[in-house]
Amino acid sequence: MMYSLFFYFKFWLFMIITLPMILPLWLLRLGGFRKLHDRYLLWGTSGWARFVMHTTPADITVKGMDNLPSGGNLVFVANHQSAYDIPLIMAVIPRNLGFIAKKELQFLPIVSGWMRAMKCIFIDRSSPRKARTGIDTAIANLRNGHSMVVFPEGTRSRSNRMGEFHRGSLQIAYRAGSTIVPLTIRDSYRLREEHDQITPGAVELTIHPPVETAGMTRQELQGLSGKLSRQIAGAL
């Protein structure tokens, strides 16, 4: 319990102290300084992610860093064990990353401003039309060079057992012609979900070889979800 109280105190104190940092981000965007905006965004968001993982504290092991592409239209596909999966990926992957998020998060103070800058997509699952609009926006962002993270299970497994990949969860990668980078997250659920409180521990992130979707046949695309699921599960 003490770890949880200490973590949440430091988390919100950090968010309040760094609140003025979002102003330069807006000014850079309004001024059209995209490269400076993106560098500043990466510095701010990756710094936040490293702070979260360090404060827990979490001992992170990364495998397969050599598999990370140097650039391009990237969709990172990962299993989903914990609320820690997002800061874990952001702390390790040196890219500006967007995420698919539930619509309620767009009203979260401070955090939502950074999420919008990251090109996160807020999905209203109660409205198929709005959900499709969100997916179309994600595809447009990818084609413009913004990377994204997708959790095909759709919800946290809270264990090292993977759930089934949802049909259509990879459609943004297919339609944008993205390079898919599979990720395996191991033991992140032990940091919070296992005991329903913040608990120090060790986590592991494995980066698998990238998969090009551009030029794939329809048959190859149909089998890709199962192939990725088996590959990701194989490192658990």
pLDDT in tens, 34-79: 999 999 999 999 999 999 999 889 999 999 999 999 888 899 999 9
**Predicted TM-score of the model (pTM):** 0.91
Tokens found for residue 173: 């990668």
Residue in 89, 231, 217, 67 with CA at minimum distance from that of residue 150: 89
At 97, the pLDDT band (50, 70, 90 cuts) reads very high
Which CATH number belongs to the domain containing residue 28 in this structure?
3.40.1130.10
Number of domains the chain is built from? 1
**Dihedrals phi, psi of 176, to nearest 5 degrees:** -90, -5
At 10, the pLDDT band (50, 70, 90 cuts) reads low
Cα–chain center distance at 104: 17
Q: Which domain holds residue 14?
A: 2-233
pLDDT in tens, 112-167: 888 888 999 888 777 778 778 888 999 999 999 999 999 999 889 999 999 989 87
Cis peptide preceding 209, ω within 30 of 0: no
Percentage of residues in the chain with pLDDT exceeding 90? 55
- Give alpha helix (H) positions in the chain: 2-17, 22-30, 34-55, 85-92, 111-117, 128-143, 171-176, 218-233
Residue in 51, 78, 228 with CA at minimum distance from that of residue 153: 78
Residue in 182, 204, 193, 181 with CA at minimum distance from that of residue 157: 193
pLDDT in tens, 176-232: 999 999 999 999 999 999 988 889 999 999 999 999 988 888 788 888 899 999 999
